[in-house]
Structure 1
Amino acid sequence: MKNKIKFVSRTLLGRARSKWANLPSGIYCFTYHRIGDAKQCDFDANVYSCTAERFERHLMFYKKHFEVINQQQLQQLLESDKPLEKKYALISFDDGYIDNYKLAFPILRKHDLTASFFITTGYVGQHRIPWWDKIAWLIKKSECKKLYYPTDAKPVNLSRRNKNKVINDVLKRVKADNQTSMADKIDLLSELLGTQLNESMNDIQLFMNFEQVKEMHQAGMDIGAHTVNHCILSHEDSATQQIELAQSKAELETLLGTCVPLLAYPVGAFNCYNDDTIKLAQELGYQVAFTYEEGVNLSPASNRFELLRFPIENNKSITRLKYALSYPKNVH
């Protein structure tokens, strides 16, 4: 509610328009997950960034107001000692959902634009449901009114009409719990919610296969790593982090026959990776790494392993997108 009041007041008073007109030079990264109709989703609808129609409008917006760059151009900017003199845009997708190939890829080609796709290799070509989608499914099927998650004294009200907000609330608690494995957390939620995962899920393919990833790369899209299992890296020991980062990079490089220098941290909040993660990424040969924290990269060369990105969520309108760019949460 507080953010909504800020949005309305700043927009009505014209302050947002003034801020937008004076955006500083820098690298503005935009992050998508799924493209399509969130209302048709049996799993976590919050993962849908926007519809295909809205995505195309976003692309036209980027082309009009930014110089849209690819992976190679990004690396050239980071390696240069010169201050940034333009507003650059980098478009990215996390996870590797199949709608990236079916919907986003053709629209990008139509507008002659490149995006960076960060692939969770353990899901590629597999009939495997990721942990956040499993949790969303359990919540949607549950008849419980309240959820008492062990690490949180305040229960989650499951009877609210907006199930997407309920799912977000539960996922926040799950992500904050660094004492329990994800498999155990799902088993616990299944017990608390009184629902069981359905075996028919084994017939569902939510993610691209390796042939589709390779086709996109050959057509000019950039491919980056997003670990093997999309675990929260800061919850894992150094040995597990090393496996997640090294194996995903190696698998993609073998598939594509080229170096994979880009990494996006799963979940991506500042507390979802740590100093060990950054050190390992550097040692393994990654050149750039992205967070999922909103903000503008004014001096990206000095923060190349913690680049900020603007999350695109809730079918964000152009007006809302302009507002987010005008009032970024972080700048570095």
Structure 2
Amino acid sequence: MMLRAEIALTRGTFDLAVEFEVPAGTVLAILGPNGSGKSSLLGSLSGLFRPQRATIRLGDRDLHGLPPHDRSVGLLSQDPLLFPHLSVVDNVAFSPRSKGASRGKSRRIARRWLTEVDAAEFADRKPRQLSGGQAQRVAVARALAGEPDLLLLDEPLAALDVDSAPAIRGLLRRVLSNNDNRATVLVTHDPLDALALADRVLVLAEGRAVERGPTREVLAAPRTAFTARIAGLNLIPGIAVAEGLQTEERLVAGLLADDTALGEPAVAVFAPSAVAVYPAEDGHPGSPRNTIATVVTTIEPHGPVIRLRTEAGLSADLTPAAVADLRLEPGTPVRLSIKATTVTVHPASGQ
């Protein structure tokens, strides 16, 4: 169902005023610094906060004024919040049971969703017997078992370790893409979550929307200091191939993330610190497979380093001494080299 929201909320000295739409079957990522209004927005959608003025329509229903249990909203946060005294299957069965389904039917629904999230083997365990990644799989199943029309994801990967996060990100990508009727709102601080899961991005600052648009466009060409900072990465969109990423201009050699599918939209991601800069006349420097001829556009301080921006849309971080030795300035032709081992290719929602 299409979500249409126009929310005005005051909490103490903070004011939130924002409007947005989330078409059925799509994911909107909400980004913003601490205190920008992300939690207030989610609270308004879930019914935990009562905005002074709001229009929140989900399909043909007006959610504003409805209690949380009547909204058909599922919530997944960074803490799984599983009931410690219930088994895994009964945790997942809680949602359909609370909607009036019989115990037997609720358990059948729960087992189906546990199978969907690759957690069926944990059905009879208690939450204390699960790892963090296993518990989050169960939490995903519980959020979806009630068949919500609106799914709210509140930093769902923030508490996971580096080994568990990619698997859960891939799981979310799969289950979200399998439903054409549900609208999803994702709050995250991680640009990779937005790239992998969201069709569009809304950036908040001080309670107002300051950027919005297709995910890759917003993160690849940020218009605010915050968005540029959270991106903090070089991003090249294209199509995932066995060697890395294929764009219209070139092959970008890199390592595929575990949840990247060949032939699907993807983004090559690498840090500015991974980019080596050489004079244009040096030809093909060293052993890196990725070498790009371009021109320096700006040179600016970036903490202890100097950040170079180029006509190719890529950035590089150098020491002040290196900038001086290379005599770099706007307009200087250079060659950028990036080792394939520093480039990771992540899935990205098709726009």
TM-score computed with the length of structure 2 as normaliser = 0.25
Structure with more strand by fraction = 2
Structure with more helix by fraction = 1
The structure, 1 or 2, with the larger RCO (C-alpha pairs under 8 Å, 6+ apart) is: 1
TM-score computed with the length of structure 1 as normaliser = 0.26
